[in-house]
Amino acid sequence: MQYRMIVCIVPHDCGEEIVKCANQNGARGGTIVMGRGTASNNLLQILGLGDSWKDIVFILVESEVEKNVRQAIINCVPAKSHHFGVMFSENIGTFIKAGVNGHNIKGDVIMNSQSEYEMINIIVNKGYAEDAMTAARKAGASGGTIIAAKGTAKEGDEKFFGVDIVPEKDMLMILVPADKKEAILTSIKELPCFAKAGSGIIFCNQAEDFTLLGKKN
């Protein structure tokens, strides 16, 4: 079985409707996380995403129903909302579903061509996400979404991972054109607050099928 993750970033309190539409068209559930948009004024004019609270919706679907689910989400967006949010899909390299007939189910890897967009994910100690976003903007990023998070590392893990054990974390998600990724990563890594080993981690993944929600597609 092959799986894909559909991700939507929409106005706060709209995530439930997105999940409802997805479930009515082949999805089996979703997860909604609240974050804060950090888009610049220029991006606000283009995408309608400013400094406001957002719902980040994660919907895991079987690849055979992905197209129907994506179209259902597009159709359920209010017609009057010209700039509603964004939607994209991600590869799921490994998917394990526990508790099914006493066995685990492992998803197959889907190999796709190079994507035009990348999602940069940055996990840092609380208070540093804004610094990272400022550096990313200087290198060409337009905006991102900050999610309040909580670390769960235990004593001794800092020796293995080389990270500070600080409970309060920020997770910053920045969707960027693929050709700008390296410049943005370099700009973030050169920040003084990231000079200390273990001050944060960064990982990237392809964001495919990028779609603007709330306009004619």
pLDDT digits (tens, 9 = 90+) for 96-112: 554 444 444 444 444 44
pLDDT digits (tens, 9 = 90+) for 111-127: 445 678 888 988 888 88
| Rounded Cα distance, 110 and 209, in Å | 14
The mean of the pLDDT values for the chain is: 77
Quick one: DSSP state of residue 193? Answer: G
pLDDT digits (tens, 9 = 90+) for 136-190: 999 999 888 888 876 655 555 554 445 555 567 888 999 899 999 999 999 998 8
* Contacts (Cβ under 8 Å, ≥6 apart) of 117: 88, 175, 176, 177, 178, 206, 207, 208, 210
Pairing of strands 168-177, 103-106: unpaired
pLDDT computed for residue 183 by the predictor: 94
